[in-house]
Structure 1
Amino acid sequence: MEKLTEKEKMLTGELYFPSNKVLQQDRAKAKAACQQFNLASEAERKPAMKTLQSIFADSPNSWIEPTFHCDYGYNIRMGRNFYANHNVVILDAAAVTFGDDVMLAPGVLISTASHPLDAKRRNKGLETARPITIGNSVWIGMGAKILDGVTIGDNAVIAAGAVVNKDVAENTVVAGVPAVAIRQIDNTTLDEGCAK
C-alpha cells in the first residue's frame, strides 16, 4: 500500500505534519492572496477580490470585506450570495462548505484544525482537521467561533460570541460558551435580530 502524503493525511482527517514543505507552500500562496486583498485600496478592491476568489474551491457571487485570512483557500466552498464582514478567519485544513445566502459578522473564526490531546504527539507538531459544513441562510454573529467537525443546519443563527463545538439543528438560535440552543426560529413571522 502506498504511503499517504502529509497533504493527503490532512485532507482525510489523519494526523499530519503542517510543517511539511508542500503544505507550507500552499499556505504561503493563500497568505499572499489574502495580503494582496487586505492591502488593496478601495479602487483596487474588485481586482483584489478576484485574486482572493481564485484560491477558493468555489465562490460564486461572494463578497468579503478586508481583512480576511485563511490557511489554504482550496478547501473553502462558498454558495451563492456569501458575505463575510471584516476580520474573518477561516482555518481550512479540511473542507469548509457554506450553503447559499450565508452571512458572517465581523470577527468570526472558523477552524477545522485541532491538535492531539496527547502532549508527546502535540509537541512533535502533529495536527488533525475535520470538515465544517454550514447550511443555507445561516447568520453567524460577531466574534462567534465555529470549531472542527461541526455542521450547522439551514436557517440557523449563531449569536455573537458563541463558541460552537457541536452540531446545530436547522432553524435554531444558539448562544453561549459552549453554544446551546436558546430558541427555535419561526420563519413565518418577522422578528428582531439577536446575533449582533
Structure 2
Amino acid sequence: MTEKEKMLSGQMYQAWDAELKDERLKAKRLCFKINQICPTESAQRQSLINELLGQESDAWIESPFNCDYGYNIKVGKGFYANHGCTILDCAPITIGDNCLLAPGVVIATAGHPLDPVERASGEEFAKAITIGHDVWFGANVTVCPGVSIGDNVVVGAGSVVVKDLPANTVCAGSPAKPIRTLAVGEKRTFE
C-alpha cells in the first residue's frame, strides 16, 4: 500500500511521504490564496473554495482558514466556517447540511502514537469524522479523531469532543457531554 492508501484506510503511515507532502502543499497554496483574497471578491473566492474541497458547493469559509488536503472534506449545503478554523483532513470528514463553525474551531482526524520512539519515527494515523445536519459548534470547539456527531447538535464554546455525541442535544465540556436534549422545533437560544 502507498502511504496515502494507508492514511485513508486508518493505518499508521508516514506523513512526510513525497506524494502526501505535495498534496498538502497544494492545499496550503489554495488556503493561502483564499486567505489573501478580498472577501468582496465572492465569485473568485468561491471558485478557490470549490477547488480546495474538490466539489461544487455554496460553502462560505472566512479567513484565515487552514486544512491539510481539502479533498477529504465533504460539506453539505449551507456550510459556514467563521474566522480561524482549522481542519486536519487526513481521513474523510463528512459534514451535513446547514452546519456552522464559530471562530477558532478545530476538526482533526490526525493522531500520533503514544510511544515516543514510534512518534519520533514520523508515524501517525487518521480516523474519519462524521458531523450530521444542522450542527453548530461554538467558538474554539475541538473535535478529535474518529468522532461521530448526530443531527441537530449544539456544542458549547471551548468544548473538546472526544466521543460520539447523540442527535438533538446541547453538549459542552472537556470532554463534551450532553447537558440537555433539544425539543423538536425549539427556538430557545443556547444558554
Whether the TM-score (by the shorter chain) exceeds 0.5 is yes
In the alignment of these two chains, the number of paired residues is 191
Deviation string 1:146-185 (CA, Å, 9 cap, x unpaired) is: 0000000000111000000000000011111111111111
Identify the residue that residue 88 of structure 1 maps to in structure 2.
Answer: 85
Query: Normalising by structure 2, what TM-score?
Result: 0.96
- 1:28-53 Cα offsets, whole Å, 9 max, x none, are 00000000010112343430231122
Q: In structure 2, how many angstroms separate the alpha carbons of the residues matched to 1:57 and 1:100?
A: 17
The whole-number CA distance in structure 2 between the counterparts of 1:162 and 1:78 is 22
**In 2: Cα distance, 1:73 partner to 1:42 partner:** 20
Q: Is the 8 A contact 1:131 1:148 kept in 2?
A: yes
* Alignment counterpart, residue 133 of structure 2, candidates 132, 136, 143: 136
Counterpart in the other structure of 2:13: 16
State how far apart, in whole Å, the 2-side matches of 1:59 and 1:158 are. Answer: 27
| 2:24 counterpart residue number | 27
Alignment of 1:1-196 (within 5 A): 4-194=1-191
> CA 1:149/1:172 → structure 2, altered by over 3 Å: closer, same or farther?
same
| CA positional deviation for 1:59 | 5.0
- The offset of 1:58, in angstroms, is 3.2
> Structure 1 unaligned runs (5+)?
none
Residue identity (%): 45
Question: Which 5+ residue runs of structure 2 have no aligned equivalent?
Answer: none
Q: Residue 123 of structure 2: SS of its match in structure 1?
A: coil
Report how far residue 187 of structure 1 moved: 2.3
8 Å CA contact 1:59–1:80 kept in 2: the answer is: no
Q: Cα RMSD (Å) of the superposition?
A: 1.1
> Structure 1: which amino acid aligns with 2:146?
G
> How many Å separate the matches in 1 of 2:55 and 2:100?
16
SS in 1 for 2:43: helix
Per-residue displacement from partner, 1:10-66 (whole Å, max 9, x unpaired)?
000000000001000000000000000101123434302311221214352111111
Please say if residues 8 and 91 of structure 2, whose CA atoms lie closer than 8 Å, have aligned partners that are also in contact: yes
**Richer in strand (by share):** 2
- Aligned equivalents of 1:116, 1:43: Cα separation in 2: 43
- 3-state SS in 1 of match to 2:22: helix
Distance 1:84 1:100, change over 3 A: same
